[in-house]
Amino acid sequence: MLTLRSSPASPFGRKIKIAAAVLGLTDRITVVATDTTDPQDSIRRENPLGKIPTLILEDGTTLFDSRVIAEYLDMLAGGGIIIPAGMARFPQLRLQALADGIGDAALLQVYETRFREEEHRNAAWVENQAGKAARGLAALEAAPPAFDDKPRIGEIALACTLGYLDLRFDGSWRSGHPALVAWLDAFAAKVPAFEATRFKG
């Protein structure tokens, strides 16, 4: 049995849960809730960075971050499934990097509010992060990624990032991005794990 250290609201943890479902590996993974803010949580021994998701293998070896875990699960399932082989990898890896980057920029905006009193917040910093997310969404809106029935890692990452924007920014991205809204609806219809992993906090 593999152990996934994650938390229900983490977009990067959700990426792994959906990847596992698409790869037919859900039954081989136990998800263990993790509090990264608790110094006593074993996550800081399992992953010195103290970050989720972290995967613990049967021999105790740990793997992180989400991109490495996704690649490991893909290989465990036979390889080339959610991460294509050869040059076809790169459009997916680029899309994953873009989606994860939008997610990181969103997360940093959330942290600014969560960890700093209003008078200590830095508008230029927040604006800089918001700009990354806005440009990323605009690029994706102009050309939403095509995919057939089986999603790959870039598409899974994008769905999780959009889900995170819904969760933390009240879906405010939706009004300006109708093509991405349609894209996410199509993704959710094809990939039941998307709805199944939604955080209902």
Upper half-sphere CA count for residue 40 (Cβ side, 13 Å): 0
- The smaller minimum CB distance to its own copies, of residues 72 and 199, is found at 72
Residues in CB range of 163: below 8 A, 6 or more apart: 11, 14, 184, 194, 198
Q: Whose Cβ is closer to its own copies: residue 131's or residue 192's?
A: 131
Tokens of 159: 């769905």
The residues of the shown chain that bind its own copies, judged by CB under 8 A, are: 44, 48-51, 62-65, 67-68, 71-72, 75, 86-87, 89-90, 93-94, 97-98, 101-102, 105, 111, 115-116, 119-122, 124-125, 131-132, 135-136, 138-139
Strands 54-56 and 29-33: unpaired
Minimum distance between the CB of residue 54 and its own copies, rounded to whole angstroms? Answer: 10
Q: How far is the CB of 14 from its own copies (least distance, A)?
A: 18
Q: Smallest gap, in angstroms, from Cβ of residue 198 to its own copies? A: 26
Q: Which is nearer to its own copies, 105 or 184 (CB)?
A: 105
State how far the alpha carbon of 47 is from the alpha carbons of 2, 52, 99, 114, 126, in Å. Answer: 15, 8, 23, 23, 28
